[in-house]
Structure 1
Amino acid sequence: MNAMTIAVAIIDDHPSITWGFERLIETETPRMRPVGSAHDLAAGRELLRRTLPDVALLDLDLDGEHGAELIAEFADTPIRFLVLTGLRDEEMHRQAMRAGARGVLGKHERPETIVRAIGRVHAGELWLDRTSTGNLVDVLRRQAQPTPDPFASLTTRERQIVAVVLEYNGVPNKKIADVLGIGENTLRNALSTIYSKTGAANRLQLFALALRHPPKP
């Protein structure tokens, strides 16, 4: 098996849905492989503990149980959650993102879009459509805790990185790294330091902080 294969778990309360997504992911072998499926909260928890996948496709409504509980429960693991939902309840989407989901994807999306989203989330990026991005940024901006200047402790180079990340919000890390003239690993390490200094958990929250407190050059 290719060492870079992305292991994907599918958690949805409709067996026909999980079957379909497993078949879709199998078509991406060896780049991706399904590691199992579950149809309720308890089975999903057991599946995640047993397989520790790279990416988990997770339905928010698991026969009346809230799938976001799993996102919070596994927040300290390397698992990256991609919410796969037929619900258009923006509040549930926001709850999932606050819990730590890396993106929200509609079940109606084309197969190639779903595959692309899995790859992006695995690469450490966010996956949100324009509407979800606008709504989430607005909520994060309103709910952000008052702070004098979350960017005050950043170095000049870190401020340059933040400026490019904000300018190219939503594009892959590779593009941002190319613009900065650095490698992707260097960018990831720099972003990790920036997140630690500013209190942001990801690029979306960094964007929300910048809207509330525009960083100085």
Structure 2
Amino acid sequence: MIKVLLVDNEKIVIEGLCKLLEGFAEFSVVSLACDGPSALHQMRLHFPHIVLMGLGVPGMGGVGATRAIRRAFSHTRIVILTSKQQPVYMREAFQAGANAYLSRTIGASELRTALLTVHREGVALSPETAVHVLGLMSERPVAGGSPLSRLTERERQILFLVADDQETGHIARFLGISPKTVRNYLSRIYAKLGTPNRLQTVLYAKRFLGQPTGMPAEL
């Protein structure tokens, strides 16, 4: 059973999410919180696997609450659920340590799939979200002909972490896969980007992104 903490300042939203998630066999909603401080308190009481977080929560905001939770509970998955789909909000959320960024227009089955993916793989990046974040970091859009546009979702996840100077072992633990699997993915990334090794791939990614991707450093 995957334990979930719901954090949102809108009562109707949080109650609706609670009813929705409890209708799925995989999830157990362990608590609800309406602001950042109470979310941290509930974290200490229940140690949930996933936090489903709104951006508008008072008492430090969703980004601040995400950052505080990431700092104190490094292995907890944090999923942002918000109506704000502008790239700048995505960037702030990922820099704070979010594992996924979802729209409130998402359907029930899509939400279930995203949460299961985050729990299993450590991160969920849709192609649309990845393109927004990559484009924002580079201060230019990711063109369809760019080598980065040819990466799969998993390869983009690993590239984000590599560009953030994470070691293979850390990446493996964060994504819940073996170091050998990470190395296999890296080999495919090298081939697609035309880079001969990890160092050149890091340099390529940082040159394109303009700065570290901001994925959680505390793995």
TM-score for both structures, normalised by structure 2: 0.64
Give deviations 1:149-191, integer Å, cap 9, x for gaps.
Answer: xxxxxxxxxxxxxxxxx743248x9xxxxxxxxxx74258746
Query: Secondary structure in 2 aligned to 1:67?
Result: helix
Query: Secondary structure in 1 aligned to 2:81?
Result: strand
User: How far apart are residue 133 of structure 1 and its match?
Assistant: 1.4
User: How far apart are residue 126 of structure 1 and its match?
Assistant: 2.8
Task: Confirm whether residue 96 of structure 1 aligns to residue 93 of structure 2.
Answer: yes
User: How far apart are residue 23 of structure 1 and its match?
Assistant: 1.1
Q: Which residue of 1 aligns with 2:56?
A: 61
Asked if structure 2 preserves the Cα contact closer than 8 Å seen for 1:141 and 1:209, the reply is no
Task: Confirm whether residue 15 of structure 1 aligns to residue 11 of structure 2.
Answer: yes
More helix by share: 2
Asked if structure 1 preserves the Cα contact closer than 8 Å seen for 2:126 and 2:153, the reply is no
Query: Secondary structure in 1 aligned to 2:121?
Result: coil
Asked if structure 1 preserves the Cα contact closer than 8 Å seen for 2:87 and 2:136, the reply is no
Q: Kindly tell me: are residues 32 and 186 of structure 1, through their superposed partners in 2, closer, same or farther at Cα, counting changes over 3 Å?
A: same
Asked if structure 2 preserves the Cα contact closer than 8 Å seen for 1:126 and 1:170, the reply is no
Identity among equivalent pairs (%): 17
Mapping of 1:150-189 within 5 angstroms? Answer: 167-170=151-154, 185-186=177-178
Give deviations 1:56-104, integer Å, cap 9, x for gaps.
Answer: 0000111484211122112242111000001233212210011110111
The count of residues paired between Structure 1 and Structure 2 equals: 166
Asked if structure 2 preserves the Cα contact closer than 8 Å seen for 1:80 and 1:101, the reply is yes
Q: Kindly tell me: are residues 210 and 170 of structure 1, through their superposed partners in 2, closer, same or farther at Cα, counting changes over 3 Å?
A: farther
Mapping of 1:1-217 within 5 angstroms? Answer: 5-29=1-25, 31-63=26-58, 65-76=60-71, 77-141=74-138, 167-170=151-154, 185-186=177-178, 190=182, 209=205, 212=208
TM-score for both structures, normalised by structure 1: 0.64
Please list every run of 5 or more consecutive structure 1 residues that lacks an aligned counterpart in the other structure: 143-165, 174-183, 200-205
CA distance in 2, matches of 1:131, 1:168: 12
CA distance in 2, matches of 1:186, 1:88: 33
Q: Kindly tell me: are residues 92 and 210 of structure 1, through their superposed partners in 2, closer, same or farther at Cα, counting changes over 3 Å?
A: closer
Asked if structure 1 preserves the Cα contact closer than 8 Å seen for 2:77 and 2:122, the reply is no
CA distance in 2, matches of 1:188, 1:38: 39
Q: CA RMSD in A?
A: 3.4
Please list every run of 5 or more consecutive structure 2 residues that lacks an aligned counterpart in the other structure: 140-149, 158-175, 187-197, 210-219
User: How far apart are residue 110 of structure 1 and its match?
Assistant: 0.6
CA distance in 1, matches of 2:44, 2:138: 34
User: How far apart are residue 138 of structure 1 and its match?
Assistant: 2.1
Name which structure has the greater RCO, CA cutoff 8 Å, separation 6+.
Answer: 2
Give deviations 1:23-68, integer Å, cap 9, x for gaps.
Answer: 1111112x21111111112211211222111110000111484211
CA distance in 2, matches of 1:111, 1:139: 29
